Structures are given as structure tokens and as C-alpha cells.
Amino acid sequence: MNVSDHHSYLTFSLNGSRYGVTTNAVQEIFFLPTLTAIDEAPRDIVGLLNLRGEILPVMDLNLRFFQRSQDYQITDSIIVIEWQTIKVGLIVNQVHEVQEIPLEAIAPQIAYGRQNDTPYHHYITGVAKNLGELVMLLDPEQLIAYTDSAENLLAALNDSGIPATQTPVQKDRRFCPHATPSEMAIFQERADNLMKLSEGEDFTGLMPIAVIGLNDEYFGLDLNVVREFTDIREITPIPCCPSRIIGNMNLRGEIVTLIDIRETLNLPMIRAIDGSKVMVVHIDELVAGIAIQEVCDVMYLHPSKIAPVPAAIHSANDEYLRGTAPYREKMMSLLDLPKILTQGELEVNEEP
């Protein structure tokens, strides 16, 4: 099949749905920083960002789609798209891979069975059906430039369940008003870094890293294996298990085993659960919850910044470390989490 019979799309997730945007429109990707709100901006433009001296408007896709805005998380990202020299950042939950999608796998029009087939929105150019799940393909031009007529706006509001006398604007224009002080510090640090990043910096090969805190030390791990961060809820103990198996937790109907990896890393065990977090990971067929002290950051790390484990701290747990890298005023250890979970004697043996 000819290359022209394929289109290349960057795929991403938002509220559990999968979307794609043509790679020709994508300029860059970075984790969500602090945004400056502008009162007179369109309702879906939730803030501005100083990106290396260029003012970038940032769009909340939920508001663009006439849905309610969600609380932002430190794991959210911004995809910068461009159309006719106009750049806009899109807030998304998670960025996935680039997909080459054949044209015959794209359904360009969807019949809804209505007398009037004109859709209330103009942002979706088609639906890809060959990727294991449906992917809605977005039109960058329409996302940036399209303005709803009063008729279409009223119809969309009615379909969304929002009273026609209200518009889905944010009542609180402050950026992320429910974030904790530590999360706000992370957002602000990212904004400061984006403001001063060099245009010529090489982003090739960057690794997405989640930075967590354990016993007041920093540890980094591959963000691709992290499914979500959440608070520790009610724990059900599992009989006849080692101390590193804390118990089971009901996560929206899914039973997740909660594990403490500190013993494997030769760190003192601390049994205080209140106020702790859970990092839910998905590695191959294994889903588990890792008890952590805090979520410190998500970041991109260049492989050149990774150093070998210093000889002075060599111990029996070296095999679970991929190296070290500078983070803030300390050094963080990079964990090989798949090896910890599969070879670190953390499996639960349910046989008597």
C-alpha cells in the first residue's frame, strides 16, 4: 500500500476516550505547567503560557466540547498544535504513540439517525477503527478557528444537560484551585523552565519519568507503566502474607493488591498508611498498587543525565536500580519496577 494511503496521528487520552491529531499540526509536547488566566478570553481558553518568550493560549478540550472542566493533575500534558501560524496548547490526560492509520480504516461520517444530519460540533473529522479501540480524529483548523453560531451553541448546551441560561464557563478562573501546595510548586517550576528553555535543546530520546517519594528520598520510574495515582482507601488484609503485602483495595470495583516495596529497596518499613498515596501500575498482565509517600513530579529525562549507581551505595538491591539522576537538590534513584515486581519476592502465593 502506498504511503499516501496512510495518515500519521499523535494519539492521546482525555476522560477515558482516545483521540488523535495529525502529526503535521503538532509542534511539541510537555507536562502541564501553571497557566495565567485571562478574564476576557473565550470560555475554552483557560490560560496563557510564556513559552520561551512566546505567549501561548491553552485550551481546555472539555470546555471546547461543551463538557464540564475537570480538575487538572500533575500527570496532564499539553500538546501544542499550529494552524496558519497560530499556535494553541491542548490540555490532555495522557499522550500515547504516533499511529499510521490507513484511509480505509477511517469512517469519515457517522449517521446518528436524525432528520438533520448536521452535527452540533465540527471538530471530529472521522473515527479510526483499526487500533483496538475507536479513536476520534480531530481537525486542528476547526479546534482553533471554529466559532459556534447561537443555534449550534444552544443545541450543544441542551445535549450536554447544562441549562440554556448557563454557559459552561469556569466559576473560578484561578489555575487549579484545588491543587496542594506541593503540586502548585511543581506546576510553577515547569512554567519557569518552559519560559527559559533554549530553542536549540535536543529533545530526542527523552524518557517520561514519574518521581515519587519514599522515606523522604526521591525515586524515578518509567511513567509508561503508571496507570494512575490515587489516595489509599480502606484496606482489606490478606491472611498469611509477608509484611510487604499490605492488603487489597477496592478501586472502583477492581480489587488491587497494595504492595510496599521499601523492604525490597532496603528502606525502613513505615506502617503509617494515613495520608499516603497509591501508584497503580500495569506491567504486562500484572496490575498492582504501590504504596508511596508522595507524588513529587512527572518529567522528561534525557538518557545522558543518568549516571551509574555510585559504588559507595552498592548493595543487594542494586539489581533493581537503573542508575541515578539529579533531581532538585538531591539525587534520585531510577527504579526497574518490572524487575522489582517480578523478581523482588512480591508475588502473592494464594495456595495454602
Indicate the range of 85-99, 158-172, 274-288 predicted with least confidence: 158-172
Nearest 5°: phi and psi at 46?
-95, -5
Contacts of 80 (CB under 8 A, 6+ apart): 26, 27, 28, 29, 30, 51, 56, 87, 88, 89, 90
Dihedral angle, C-alpha 142, 89, 12, 101, nearest 10 °? 50
Q: State yes or no: pLDDT of 56 exceeds 90.
A: yes
Nearest to 58 by CA among 66, 166, 206, 76: 76
Over residues 315-341, the pLDDT tens digits come to: 556 678 889 998 877 889 999 998 888
Q: State yes or no: pLDDT of 197 exceeds 60.
A: no
Residue 272's pLDDT band, with cuts at 50, 70 and 90, is: low
Task: Report the alpha-carbon distance of residue 242 to residue 263 in Å, rounded.
Answer: 11
Residue 242's pLDDT band, with cuts at 50, 70 and 90, is: confident
Residue 184's pLDDT band, with cuts at 50, 70 and 90, is: very high
Residue 274's pLDDT band, with cuts at 50, 70 and 90, is: low
- Largest Cα separation within the chain, whole Å, is 74
More confident residue, 119 or 255: 255
Q: Can you tell me the mean pLDDT for 227-244? A: 82
Q: State yes or no: pLDDT of 114 exceeds 70.
A: no
Q: Can you tell me the mean pLDDT for 97-122? A: 70
Chain-centroid distance of CA 129 in Å reads: 23
304 by Cβ neighbours in 10 Å (0-12 / 13-18 / 19+) ranks as exposed
Nearest to 136 by CA among 127, 145, 144, 147: 127
* Helices (H), ranges, the chain: 61-64, 140-145, 150-160, 181-196, 337-343
What pLDDT is attached to residue 315? 53
What pLDDT is attached to residue 341? 86
Question: Does the pTM exceed 0.85?
Answer: no
What pLDDT is attached to residue 347? 55
Q: State yes or no: pLDDT of 112 exceeds 70.
A: no
Q: Can you tell me the mean pLDDT for 248-254? A: 85
- Alpha carbon separation from 34 to 3, 20, 308 (Å, rounded): 40, 25, 33
Percent share of the chain, pLDDT over 70: 78
Give the count of beta carbons closer than 10 Å to the beta carbon of residue 230.
Answer: 16
What pLDDT is attached to residue 203? 54
- Alpha carbon separation from 25 to 8, 68, 252 (Å, rounded): 10, 26, 37
What pLDDT is attached to residue 99? 81
Contacts of 226 (CB under 8 A, 6+ apart): 75, 210, 279, 280, 281
What pLDDT is attached to residue 178? 84
Label residues 121-145 b or e (16+ Cβ within 10 Å = b): eebbbbbbeebeeebbbbbbbebbe
Q: Can you tell me the mean pLDDT for 222-238? A: 84
Nearest to 138 by CA among 225, 22, 231, 251: 22
Long-range contacts of the stretch 317-322 (C-beta < 8 A, 24+):
317/264, 317/265, 317/266, 319/343, 320/264, 320/265, 320/344
Label residues 307-324 b or e (16+ Cβ within 10 Å = b): eebeeeeeeebeebbbbb
Residue 153's pLDDT band, with cuts at 50, 70 and 90, is: very low
Q: State yes or no: pLDDT of 225 exceeds 50.
A: yes
What pLDDT is attached to residue 32? 94
- Alpha carbon separation from 218 to 111, 270, 293, 297 (Å, rounded): 52, 16, 10, 10
Q: State yes or no: pLDDT of 187 exceeds 90.
A: yes
Contacts of 168 (CB under 8 A, 6+ apart): 43, 63, 66, 67, 68, 69, 157, 160, 162
- Are β-strands 17-22 and 135-138 bridged in parallel, bridged antiparallel, or unpaired? parallel
Q: State yes or no: pLDDT of 349 exceeds 70.
A: no
Residue 148's pLDDT band, with cuts at 50, 70 and 90, is: low
What pLDDT is attached to residue 76? 92
Indicate the range of 10-14, 54-58, 110-114, 185-189 predicted with least confidence: 110-114
Q: Average pLDDT of the chain?
A: 79
Percent share of the chain, pLDDT over 90: 19
What pLDDT is attached to residue 154? 46
Q: Is 184 strand, coil or helix?
A: helix
What pLDDT is attached to residue 312? 56
Q: State yes or no: pLDDT of 159 exceeds 70.
A: no
Nearest to 233 by CA among 208, 211, 254, 207: 254
Q: State yes or no: pLDDT of 217 exceeds 60.
A: yes
